[in-house]
Structure 1
Amino acid sequence: MYQPEPHSFKFTVLLNDIEQGLIKIPQFQRDFVWSKEQSAKLMDSILKGYPIGTFILWKTKERLRSIRNIGGVNLPDTPEGDFIQYVLDGQQRMTSLYASLKGVTIKRETKDEDFSKIYVDLLASEDEDIVITDISEKEPGSYIKLTDLLNGGLSLAKKFDEKYHDKLDDYYKRIATYDFPAILIKNSSIDIATEIFTRINIGGKKLSVFEIMVAKTFDAERDFDLSEKYDELIDSLSNVDYETISDATVLQTVSVCLVKECSKKQILKLDKQQFIDIWDDVVDAIERAVDYFRGFFRIPVSNLLPYNALIVPFAYYFYHHKNKPTGKQQEYLQDYFWRAALTERFSSGLETKLAQDIKKIDMILEDKLPQYEQGIDIRPEAIIQNGWFSAGRSYVKAILCILAYQRPLSFIDNSVVNISNDWLKQANSKNYHHFFPRAYLRKKGEEEFYINHILNITIVDDFLNKNKIKAKAPAQYMKEFNKVNPMLAETMKTHLINDLEEFGVWENDYDKFFEKRAEAICEEIKKRIILQQIDRIGESASEEVASAVEMDQ
């Protein structure tokens, strides 16, 4: 049970503790945003003896990742063995006090702000602002810098008219004797400390699991900073266009490799030293999984992955199996991937399902075929029914992965189409082309569901989409490409449009095109799964699947 303990600081103790590294602001706090004017208001309240709120500090010997440069001043690390007091509530006030009392220049994105230019108006009455920032209309000698008031000593009075001496002394004593109230949270874990922080900041910033783990796993002696390590990983993955892998996915991967579960509660319970010990091996496993997605599945960029979370079970596999899978394991992994994608498995209950799937990966590692609770319907009718084109849906992304697997070529010159993460964020991406243009089909009175459908999508380059096709009928623009690309028939096979005539392209027959493309994609899906009795592939599915399962066993 944590122990809240009332406490108070004088300003000299407060500043000294900050400068000795005994008070730290954890990295999960937001940036210092208060202006010089807001800070002057705070100091005005102190001079008048008003309450400014209670600081809540977590007193611990745990070393978290913290902001070293409070107010832009490079501050020392906490001495070894000493307690640290992490600011859970009052960071803006704490930094504001430090910046004002020390006269710090705060570096902002737009311009620097000099907090030494905060003044005490010696002519102001108690019901006016005593602490000010604008002295443009003040008489010289009627005001004093706040920092000079605190640091001037006995010689200060000589610089001012005698009528101000009592005020100078009084104002100094008001600040020097002011009690800054605080509550110290002692004997508590980081989980409790961050929960307190989250509750205090309700309606404001809610801490992510990653932010908590950045704080929890920081280790200066082992040179481990999770935030920096994650950035290094993403930099590495950006070289192969997989930079959109989230910090949550990375944490889930570490957790399943350590304990085979990845709930928020479980991640927060992970042992710090074990986390650091396993990090490099997990990074290696993630990179191997990415190489496998890019190589075996031919998924060139991470935005095409049906789920970020698919990284987790595949990295778990490579954590336990350093080499590329072959034979049965390769078949079983491929089967798992397409089932997860096409059944939209991770659309809900992600953490629970990942824990279930780790057990399936363990079976695959033992050359055993997992059994699945949900069957897969790969009939052309199912593709038609489920194929409304939305770039964020895993079902649609799975089919886009199949299209990308063909390494689509440009209609105009047979060059390889460049697929980019930047182009794949939305349904109107530069890479997505409606083979029968939307404007053309709308004029024909086609329903929007069938117009904006994955079966009408091809992956093309930006130039082709904007400049050559526009709203022309397929027969018209394909005849133009036929003149300049003698390999056009072969080119179209890379888009799973296997025969321009058979697919109704030359007659602008959208119904025929739609039906034939559904069949072509259906055949591609069949190549990628291992049929089980729970699956539906056609009217005679049960006999065909039963036979296939029997042969596999």
Structure 2
Amino acid sequence: MEDYSIRGIIESVGSGQIRIPAFQRGFVWDSERVAYLMDSIYKGYPFGALMFWRTKEQLKFDRQLGPFALPDPKEDYPVDYVLDGQQRVTSIFGVFQTDYEPIQGEHTDWMDIFFDLGADETAQDNQFIALKPDQVDPGRHFPLRTLFDTTAYRAATEALEGDAIKIVDDLQARFKETKIPVQVTKTEEKETVAIIFERVNRQGVELDTLQLLSAWTWSEDFQLADQFEELSEVLAPFGFQGVGSDTDLLLRCCAAILTGDASPSALMKLNGAEVRKKFDLIKNGVQYAVDYLRNQFSVQKLDNLPYVTQLVPLSVFFAIDGEKEASVSDAQRKVINRWFWRSSFSRRYSSGVLRNLKADIEQMNNLRNDADSSLGGFATNVTSDFFLQHVFRISNVNTKTFLLLLSTKSPRSFISGQKVDLADTLKRANRSEFHHMMPRSFLERSGQKEPIGDSILANFCFLSRADNRKLGGEAPSDYKQKMPTDEAVLESILTSAVANELLWDDNYEAFVKSRAENLAVIARDLCQL
């Protein structure tokens, strides 16, 4: 831990030695918040230690300090990048420095901070105020920016008398004597910095890994954030624009494709030139993976996936150079599909995510290269209990898996008998597109709701709100009369919903247990168990 004086902060920032890295967000404090910081310093209240990363490697891209553009650091001098405390450093520098004017158009609400000589000195009330030039009363408002400039301080105190001079002299002394604790991490290893970021992030400080990696990969003609945005635009027509906005997911895909490891430390080991050179691999990997998910599993948007992380190993398989066409053999397709269903039903990415991802990435690479691969070889067990014990919730992993299973049977409308438009239905993927096969109101009237419960997976199917309204809350044997009368069409509807004629008996327990067994058989077949 090192101690910095306020003058030391001003001089180090002004010389370019303390800098704001691009992976930090911009300055967001308003003038009132800055004034409160000054009050805390003046009264000796704790306002937190700063955290610096000291390195001899200057980042290719960093951020200006609030509204102030700063000079480059001296050659061969270490640079201190602010990891935690950017708002405080910017506030301190902006309040007391006298050499820089705010850039026009930047932080136009920035105002100088003044000590209010007329304010009561209480523990709670703020004695500092942000003012525009036309609001300043020289006899009452003393400018803080003069405290560390001898000439300016002398000029500002000329109009003061008696007690006011004593108060201002004491004000200057308090700020000059203030020591600011700074925790300094000295390292040239970016992966170490990544770990620090992760831990700071856990403490509630917002840090952006994309901006960090952008700083290390930046060049005049390559900006990683822009590349991600372009990828999002390409995927948008297919309903996958969410991939582009999920930067954590895309960063994992980058690391997995280029390093074989999707962990945060792997991201920080990436060489900027390598990322730029091989970004086509990443774009192709993600785009072809999305295409595969749509064609093989009817996944129409990112939210349809049981786990968004399933995109990561899949993008590794499809990461190919340039304009090459992706190809999948029948044998590879069977292995990939088995892995997808097993990882979904086993909740593989609910815990041990990085460990499981690394194993799956390695085996996906082996599969792509026609080497021995154990992809999907982990334990999976699907029984009827999966459909009897889990409740239908549209955002739940188990529900998403269940809906994708149902989609493999090409579900049909209960009213028209026509195939459900899966592309449209799953793209919307809201609760109104799925309803109870045995209506809740019927189960309540007939006393069959307990103990099983009416919202288990085994009681749900693809059934639009419009169809559900037409069927009403009647017993299945009654709403059957509103369905197609052609026996072949009726049978195809039941089959596509993984149901049978037990539905018409109005016996809830018998129906859901039978349907759950049939669903489990399909699940085991998909998992090739």
**What is the TM-score when the length of structure 1 is the normalising length?**
0.73
RMSD: 4.7
Deviations 1:256-302 (A, max 9, x none): 32333334444444444434433331122011111101012222222
Structure 1 residue 492 corresponds to structure 2 residue 498:
no
Deviations 1:393-442 (A, max 9, x none): 54443331122234544444546363256644xxxx22321111223223
2:519 corresponds to: 521
Question: After alignment, is 345-354 or 97-106 more displaced?
Answer: 97-106
Paired residue for 2:82, among 81, 87, 103?
87
- Contact 2:476–2:504 at 8 Å: present in 1 too? yes
Question: After alignment, is 396-405 or 123-132 more displaced?
Answer: 123-132
Deviations 1:20-47 (A, max 9, x none): 6543334555665655444334434656
Give 1:231-310 correspondences, 5 Å limit. 231-245=229-243, 246-310=246-310
Structure 1 residue 142 corresponds to structure 2 residue 139:
yes
Give 1:431-510 correspondences, 5 Å limit. 431-444=433-446, 445-447=448-450, 449=452, 451-465=454-468, 467-482=469-484, 489=490, 492=493, 495-497=496-498, 502-510=500-508
1:410 to 1:49, Cα distance in 2 relative to 1, 3 A: closer
- Equivalent position amino acid for 1:75 in 2: A
1:458 to 1:237, Cα distance in 2 relative to 1, 3 A: same
Paired residue for 2:421, among 416, 420, 439?
416
C-alpha separation in 1, matches of 2:21 and 2:204: 16
- Contact 1:504–1:510 at 8 Å: present in 2 too? no
Deviations 1:467-518 (A, max 9, x none): 43453323333433448x99963772584256xxx52344434355435534
Structure 1 residue 329 corresponds to structure 2 residue 344:
no
Give the SS at the match of 2:240.
coil
1:386 to 1:340, Cα distance in 2 relative to 1, 3 A: farther
Paired residue for 1:23, among 6, 12, 18?
18
Give the SS at the match of 1:25.
strand
1:215 corresponds to: 212
C-alpha separation in 2, matches of 1:146 and 1:525: 73
Give the SS at the match of 1:120.
strand
1:522 to 1:322, Cα distance in 2 relative to 1, 3 A: farther
C-alpha separation in 2, matches of 1:199 and 1:370: 34
- The sequence identity of aligned pairs, in percent, is 24
1:512 to 1:112, Cα distance in 2 relative to 1, 3 A: farther
Give the SS at the match of 2:317.
helix
C-alpha separation in 2, matches of 1:387 and 1:286: 32
Structure 1 unaligned spans of 5+:
536-553
C-alpha separation in 1, matches of 2:152 and 2:328: 76
Structure 1 residue 133 corresponds to structure 2 residue 129:
yes
C-alpha separation in 2, matches of 1:281 and 1:266: 17
- Equivalent position amino acid for 1:416 in 2: D
- Equivalent position amino acid for 1:295 in 2: N
- Contact 1:58–1:87 at 8 Å: present in 2 too? yes
C-alpha separation in 1, matches of 2:108 and 2:466: 45
- Contact 2:95–2:145 at 8 Å: present in 1 too? no
C-alpha separation in 2, matches of 1:280 and 1:272: 14
Deviations 1:39-63 (A, max 9, x none): 3344346567888665443232445
1:457 to 1:83, Cα distance in 2 relative to 1, 3 A: same
**What is the TM-score when the length of structure 2 is the normalising length?**
0.76
C-alpha separation in 1, matches of 2:126 and 2:349: 59
**How many pairs were matched up?**
508
Deviations 1:314-366 (A, max 9, x none): 11111259523132222222222222222333332222222322343244331
- Equivalent position amino acid for 1:504 in 2: L
1:341 corresponds to: 344
1:96 corresponds to: 91
- Contact 2:502–2:511 at 8 Å: present in 1 too? yes
1:90 to 1:186, Cα distance in 2 relative to 1, 3 A: same
